[in-house]
Amino acid sequence: MGKYKYEITKIYRFEAGHRVWTQNLAQGRGASLSGNACPPENKCRHLHGHSYVVEITLGSDTLDNDMVMDFYHLKSAVKELIDYKLDHSFIIDKNDPLYPSLKEMAKEFGLKLFEVDFVPTAERLAEFIYRYLKEKLQKAGVKDVEVVEVVIWETATSKASYKEE
């Protein structure tokens, strides 16, 4: 059951690369489930990409013109971020040791980087988009509508979500 009387969800898709440069499968929460055995390589430390699917849910206890918000306006709020900045980019943590080299290569060869201040896991990307949209709604003066949740699918079987209570 939702937090609000009315909730809407819109789905977006984008293609992007990233790397989880801090991945160490022999350590961290859950490592004991596999006997702290690390496979020959931590695959997500490599440069790789995903066909991301993003689900954004907004909620309200009231309706305006019989809607929480027109889907058109929701799309307008995230179009620049998803379509122009994230889509077909390489999402890179500025703290990644490869960042200086990748930034130089991007400049030299005209490649598209999207720079962030966090390891670009699905969880952190969901939080980033959530906070981005929350700020957009506040700056636009949109009242009585809240971002409920952002879900990021990295693959058809793996997703992460972010919401605030």
Q: Give the residue numbers marked as catalytic.
A: 44, 88, 154
In the sheet that 48-60 helps form, which strands lie side by side, from edge to edge?
A: 113-116, 89-93, 6-18, 48-60, 146-155, 158-162
Which amino acid is located at 79 in the chain?
A: K
Query: What is the Cβ-side half-sphere exposure of residue 17, based on CA atoms within 13 angstroms?
Result: 11
